[in-house]
Amino acid sequence: MVTRLYSHPIFLEHVTPPGHPERPDRLRAIARVLEGEAFNDLVRREAPVGDLATVAYAHPQDFVDRVKATTPESGIVRIDADTSMSPKSFEAALTAVGAANAAVDDVFAGTADNVFVAARPPGHHAERATAMGFCLFNTAAIAARHAQRAHGAERVAVIDWDVHHGNGTQDIFWDDPTVLYCSTHQMPLYPGTGAKTETGVGNIVNAPLAPRDGSDAFREAFLSRILPSVDAFRPDLIIISAGFDAHHRDPLAEINLDEGDFDWATGQLMDRAATHSGNRLVSLLEGGYDLEGLAYSVAAHVGRLMRG
């Protein structure tokens, strides 16, 4: 397997308020763990700045313009209680989009089998016209649309295992049968969406977990709901919204997974990519706020991507 990694120093310059869990140290922890000998064959690339026009694939242009105009010249400006921007935040978010779209290009060109994008800010809470939940633009949704527009993908599956439901991705694709959105997440928990009854036009599959659930419940949700939906959909591309905050060490939730669970879920989705998608799989970092749990989980995830 040829696995690429995209990252960029600009992602460290998206500054959040003191004590905020979505902080630059998250990417430093990932970078350190991926320096290990096991990752010598990981193909590393600097993320390109995204084409601003592609952001409008998932968001109205006036929203894109509004986010850009909110960028402060200095200091930090709050969009809501959780979400803020610093002078480099817009550039970081646009580079995250560029990385995700480049990853899609790579897997369709065959220059990589799969790609992991270590970027911030995350994206899956950003709705069509609302930045929220630490997120400015919905990178996964933009990448899915890029696959359709640039590469003729007819069906794209977005699988979200972040502990928080990806309300933004669900909102963007709610009535679009060409995109399958599947999510495991803790419920009840922020943002309050993600019930099993939320099904869109049959393209939304939510598999909520209860507080204190662990490996057994997570794997059962995959085996009974997520994976059968992917098999029935037969996607041309699989995108993972790869949040690692369902790890038992994470301070923002109460799900008790470990790195072995992320290894297992990665392998299951790689099997589906091999069957349906010509191995095409793109993974985008979302949450994960305990630095040790995040580092171990990313190492397991990327290690599985590399070995197949």
Q: pTM to 2 decimals?
A: 0.98
Spatial separation of the C-alpha atoms in residues 184 and 163, rounded to whole Å: 7
Position 228 pLDDT exceeds 90: yes
Q: How far is CA 275 from CA 165, 200, 221, 238, 257, in A?
A: 27, 26, 20, 11, 27
Question: Residue ranges of the domains in the chain?
Answer: 3-307
What is the arithmetic mean of pLDDT over 80-90? Answer: 97
Over residues 150-194, the pLDDT tens digits come to 999 999 999 999 999 999 999 999 999 999 999 999 999 999 999
User: Active-site residues: which are they?
Assistant: 125
Q: Look at residue 248 in the predicted model and tell me its pLDDT.
A: 98
Over residues 235-275, the pLDDT tens digits come to 999 999 999 999 999 999 999 999 999 999 999 999 999 99
- In sign, the C-alpha dihedral spanning 62, 14, 22, 179 is positive
Q: What percent of the chain has pLDDT over 90?
A: 99
Give the fold, CATH level 3, of 3-307: Arginase; Chain A (3.40.800)
Q: What is the mean pLDDT of the chain?
A: 98
Q: How far is CA 229 from CA 180, 212, 272, 295, in A?
A: 8, 25, 11, 30
Q: Look at residue 308 in the predicted model and tell me its pLDDT.
A: 84
Which positions ≥6 away from 112 have C-beta within 8 Å?
2, 3, 4, 43, 103, 106
The one-letter amino acid at 258: D
Over residues 91-143, the pLDDT tens digits come to 999 999 999 999 999 999 999 999 999 999 999 999 999 999 999 999 999 99
> Whose CA is closest to 175, among 128, 123, 235, 224?
128
The one-letter amino acid at 65: D
What is the arithmetic mean of pLDDT over 221-248? Answer: 98
Position 1 pLDDT exceeds 90: no
What is the arithmetic mean of pLDDT over 63-69? Answer: 97
Is residue 73 exposed (0-12), middle (13-18) or buried (19+ Cβ within 10 Å)? exposed
> Whose CA is closest to 7, among 110, 92, 105?
92
